[in-house]
Chain A
Amino acid sequence: AQTVTQSQPEMSVQEAETVTLSCTYDTSENNYYLFWYKQPPSRQMILVIRQEAYKQQNATENRFSVNFQKAAKSFSLKISDSQLGDTAMYFCAFIDSGAGSYQLTFGKGTKLSVIP
């Protein structure tokens, strides 16, 4: 079965500093996509960034970037210049084509607090 592990239940960072959230996953498939979702206090899930497994180049979206290590099955999220609005739960997720179904699997999340 596919699994996603986020080993940091809670983290905090000073405003304007950089923080890295960890994620590891397990799959026997070679073709898959990885995502980071943000869930602010409103509880609306928002896509932060996406990475295709076949691409070696790490994805970047403004202040958000990933470190994708395929062999290690690691997918960490780096947030630069942290802002108060980044305070949220962050979920790592992936989707693959195992068993012919495109099932989205989530980790348990990391609660990030940005401190003024």
Chain B
Amino acid sequence: DGGITQSPKYLFRKEGQNVTLSCEQNLNHDAMYWYRQDPGQGLRLIYYSQIVNDFQKGDIAEGYSVSREKKESFPLTVTSAQKNPTAFYLCASNRGYLVAEAFFGQGTRLTVV
């Protein structure tokens, strides 16, 4: 079955460490997105990519980095520069044009310990 897979479901990070969240899709979608969800804040866009080897910053990109070396994969690295990384992270993909609805992964809950 086609879909979008995020891993791990839960992730714990020590202060000062970088961690990478995985996002893989087999929907042949061109565009992929990373969102951060905090209580009362809705979904805020971190980074998005509309094509392989290209990506753009969203509204809250500071302290995060991404890569898009393959169409299927869009990993997100939360660096030590991100001062408040504890949150729920959602990855999404769509066909990259106006009409396309976004499909979401099941999310990763990141906690700093």
Contacts and interface: CB of A to CB of B under 8 A. Distances in A.
B48 A103 contact: yes
Interface in A2-55: 6, 9, 31-33, 35, 42-45, 47, 50, 52
A11 to B, nearest CB: 15
Given A9-B40, A43-B106, A104-B92, A33 B45 contact: no
A31 B40 contact: no
Interface string A83-111: 00000000101011100011111111100
Given A33-B98, A43-B88, A102 B31 contact: yes
Given A103-B48, A106-B43, A108-B40, A35 B101 contact: yes
B98 A32 contact: yes
Contacts of A96: 98
Nearest to A104: B102
- Considering residues B31, B35, B42, B107, which has the most beta carbons from chain A within 10 angstroms of its beta carbon? B42
26 contacts: A6-B42, A9-B40, A31-B98, A33-B98, A33-B99, A35-B101, A43-B106, A44-B107, A45-B92, A47-B102, A52-B99, A91-B43, A95-B98, A97-B98, A101-B48, A102-B50, A102-B94, A102-B97, A103-B45, A104-B33, A104-B92, A105-B45, A106-B42, A107-B42, A108-B41, A108-B42
Interface of B: 31, 33, 35, 40-45, 48, 50, 56, 58, 88, 90, 92, 94, 96-102, 104, 106-107
